[in-house]
Structure 1
Amino acid sequence: MTDFGLKVRMVVVGAILFAFYLVAATAIAAMTGFNLWIILAVGILIVPALQYKIGKWMALRGAEDMPDDPRYQHVHHMTESLARDMGVPTPRLMRQQMGVPNAFAVGRKGAGVVVVSDELMAILDNDELEGVIAHEIAHIKNRDVITMVVGQSIGMIVGYVAYFAVLMGGERNMGTWILAMAASQIANLLVMIFVMAISRYREYVADDDARDAIGSGDPLARALEKISAGAEGRDQQTNDTVAALCIFNADRSLLQSIFSTHPPTEKRIAKLRS
């Protein structure tokens, strides 16, 4: 069963994101002269589904289906077994070169996808890989991936609206353009603060669900240690959207350290072994 605390956070964050969306829709109506109710109707009925589809498509760019041959049969078998035990339809398995050992999940129950990097499969033992896949299946089961993908898309929309609102409200010069860019970044950041609030908590929940699924937290703890060590000195070859969905965010920039999408790896490992 999905963690109650995660459910509450998803409801609260969902309501806040809708409020941001409402403000953006009102601004669009004011700038374009379109009827607000029509914009809201389109936004509620069409845009979220479109955002989800586009977000999923963007996340899976560069990934390819994992072949069902002797090299990967053990990955397919453990995924099918875990999905069955966790009460989730078997997700589609894909592989990708990410530059670092990592994995992520997108989609919902019945249409979930687990992407595993070649670098990850090269360094993990089978029980460690099982812990990682259980963690990703937990994200699909808990539906928190949908909140992340849609939330990031709303952040982009709010950022664009802020940009054009400033641009249309001032003179067309370099100062206005710089102000518009700053407003866009700030608006996007405000939305992402709330998305990040759920992002860190959902990692702990998925860790706990994975521990329950495989019967021990130690394999996943060992996997996190290897993933963290394997990412040292290497650049993650994924965009920001995918980095936020991964089991380990290899981005060590100053901004990432302030607005981290993941709790500290050391705390996750300690909690798994407690």
Structure 2
Amino acid sequence: MESCVHPLIGQLQPIFNELHSSTAATLPSVILKLEYIIGDEGDTFFQGSAGGEFRASHSGLSNWVNTQIKDLFSKSETQLAGILCTKALLGTDYIGSNSLLQFFLQLLEGSVRSSDVVVSEKSAEVWGLLLNNSGSFAEGTAQTRLKTCIKDLRMTGDAVDKVAASLFLCQLLKHTPSTVVPYLHLVFEGIRVALRDLSERVRVNAACVLQYALSVMYTSMGSSTVIKLLDSFLGDSLNGLESKKRTCSMVPFCVLTLYFFL
């Protein structure tokens, strides 16, 4: 019914049209327009607590926005636009229900596997921010993702899986470190394997995970456990120096990193 159409759809439609055709140069200005509307509307932007016609109108807006953002994620050339739209919505109460959290987390998780470095890294960043805003819902999501990451890092497989695992692990260590601490020894195992991978991108991202993991280890573990983990990891890393240079070019870096933390 026309009377149930939310008035904001009229304001948002041209912005989403621009997002679908935006370039790397124009995307920031289009996102600013979206953020302006969100900020200008304040608490009423996605409020659906009222009843009757207003509730129907809000439901229509929510469904419409979800469809628009999903369409952006569905095309490689507009994935970054979808990621930045999601980030813009983090400051509102829009992504509040578990179903919407799951919806947006899944969209972002798919983009973390992108071959585009900017897209994958930005998607992981927003995924982490969304997880951080998810309250109790975050725990189960973090545990499930952690298990997948550890498995992907330790197995010899697609570089895309290992890069994604590293990006996710960085966010888990940053936003939900308590989830990772009981499994840090497994994370270090995965890092050790990834640092010897043939793919430079895998090795570089694994080195980033190493830095986060060391920080978490020092702030959450006792000295005896820290020494045990470091001895094991440093020994394996030094042994890696005897391997072919192309498969362990990040090993000297990780050794230096360990000495820096020591």
TM-score after normalising by structure 2: 0.28
* Higher strand residue share: 1
Structure number with the bigger relative contact order (C-alpha 8 A, sep ≥ 6) is 1
**Max Rg structure:** 2
* Higher helix residue share: 2
TM-score after normalising by structure 1: 0.27
